[in-house]
Structure 1
């Protein structure tokens, strides 16, 4: 293949990956809207449990259909299985924090504070992987931290403990993103996803059993919304995984900030939310810190 053909093939692949990422973010927006609609009648641990259990079905189906996952005894073994399970439990805890935040905060606020995961990826990379952090990364962490504090406004009347929930979700989401690098190349993404999704489902059900009582589903409409929430969330995770397999994270990560704009738009159109005073100018610092980290990674 010539260099010209390689360029066009690579560009086409990158475009497909970006479209997959946008589709994943749209799925997550739809899931978040459904969670907010259901939250007045069902507790966050319940919804998290339903999401994780139902989310396994479409993801496993497509992974098997594409050949990413084959049910042979030897192919289902992972040497570092405790770490693979821990990644799933971390996702379950992240979703519990995320769903609890959606019940209390505006969509755009949750999406903005959730974008701090890129900052925690850097911190956990140092703590777990032993990576070295230069002045550019340190500067980005400081800028991002200032942005978070600006939105949270601790010590003021505007401060709410609920605003810490999406930050906690970001920390828990960062853990599986960092620790995936501890697995060898012989372990497929499909198998890692299977371990994580099953562990997340079990962890979410156990947490729900301790934190709340499962209430009866009040109507067929609620049952349908819960089913859609679980399936759409599972499809979103799968689409995001496929996108990051097709293109480098440094290419896709900047498009992730589109989630802030889409969440703001949906929150305003559906729920009448417009937290402009809450988000600005802190959101600019959070986005700027993430972009600075990604720019430095590309240069490196």
Structure 2
């Protein structure tokens, strides 16, 4: 892989982080007037468009005759429901705690992915990876801050979201190897729409969109999230994930800056040094994985 391609992939992945944070900022802004369940449903509906674009742009899908059938439909449906639940938890947290705190805690998904890989995939995890997991989890606990005056049980929401997102990542590896990732993503997004709409119904249904201004923000939210997923998929196809994952933790200071600029939040005492431990734990896991692959 040429060095320039790796650098371009890293740049694209960083842009995707910006769009993920923009989506989160819009969700936090809209959460005062619309429920997390509603916003999740809107996000998934608009997210179908970039998912379809990602599938159409997939060379693997075209080379295999534009296959639309998937053998493991049950797994697709379960993943879609898990995504809907993860979004509900994360979107709730964005409306209840500081933007940077919710985003930082969500980075603990790497901790859960290691545990789920052992339980569901039967992977053998060495001492270094478990040390990395423990370091990351200690960082999460420090950010959540049990015992501090600022601690709230709402901090458990992004933690639950991280666990659910990690579960979708691990279960993606259970699909047949010949099924394109873009096809799995499209179908999972479709079931996420069904799941999120059903959840919104259970939480009181949909309230009327108050203005064209709000509608514009809702559309922007879906488009920002969709672009973020698309860019992330493009970057992952350009180079190995181990080349990109360490840079994903730049999202932590980025979220801090966005929360400070747009909402006047500066939870410095809550985030550090816990956020650093989360990043260190994640990078240790990635470094160990890259050594094992070599």
Question: How far apart are 1:58 and its partner, in Å?
Answer: 3.0
- Structure 2 gap segments, 5+ residues each: none
Q: Is the Cα contact below 8 Å between 2:51 and 2:182 reproduced in 1?
A: no
Looking at structure 2, the residues matched to 88 and 242 of structure 1 have their Cα atoms a distance apart, in angstroms, of: 21
- Corresponding residue for 1:6? none
- Corresponding residue for 1:27? 19
Looking at structure 2, the residues matched to 112 and 262 of structure 1 have their Cα atoms a distance apart, in angstroms, of: 10
Question: How far apart are 1:52 and its partner, in Å?
Answer: 0.5
What is the 5 A alignment of 1:32-181? 32-64=24-56, 75-181=67-173
CA RMSD of aligned residues (A): 1.8
Deviations 1:49-78 (A, max 9, x none): 1000111123313532556656x9982111
Sort the Cα spacing of 1:280 and 1:65 in 2 relative to 1 into closer, same or farther, 3 A.
closer
Deviations 1:261-300 (A, max 9, x none): 1111111111111000111111121111111111111221
Question: How far apart are 1:130 and its partner, in Å?
Answer: 0.4
Deviations 1:122-147 (A, max 9, x none): 01000000011111111112112211
Q: Is the Cα contact below 8 Å between 1:46 and 1:212 reproduced in 2?
A: no
Question: How far apart are 1:236 and its partner, in Å?
Answer: 1.0
- Structure 1 gap segments, 5+ residues each: 1-8
Question: How far apart are 1:24 and its partner, in Å?
Answer: 1.1
- Corresponding residue for 2:227? 235
What is the 5 A alignment of 1:136-285? 136-285=128-277
Q: Is the Cα contact below 8 Å between 1:136 and 1:296 reproduced in 2?
A: yes
Sort the Cα spacing of 1:218 and 1:81 in 2 relative to 1 into closer, same or farther, 3 A.
same
Q: Which moved more, 1:96-105 or 1:86-95?
A: 86-95
Deviations 1:104-124 (A, max 9, x none): 111211111011011111010
- Corresponding residue for 1:4? none
Question: How far apart are 1:183 and its partner, in Å?
Answer: 1.9
Looking at structure 1, the residues matched to 89 and 52 of structure 2 have their Cα atoms a distance apart, in angstroms, of: 25
Looking at structure 2, the residues matched to 68 and 239 of structure 1 have their Cα atoms a distance apart, in angstroms, of: 17
Looking at structure 2, the residues matched to 110 and 69 of structure 1 have their Cα atoms a distance apart, in angstroms, of: 36
Q: Is the Cα contact below 8 Å between 1:45 and 1:212 reproduced in 2?
A: no
How many residue pairs were aligned? 291
Looking at structure 1, the residues matched to 98 and 149 of structure 2 have their Cα atoms a distance apart, in angstroms, of: 17
Report the TM-score when normalising by structure 2.
0.94
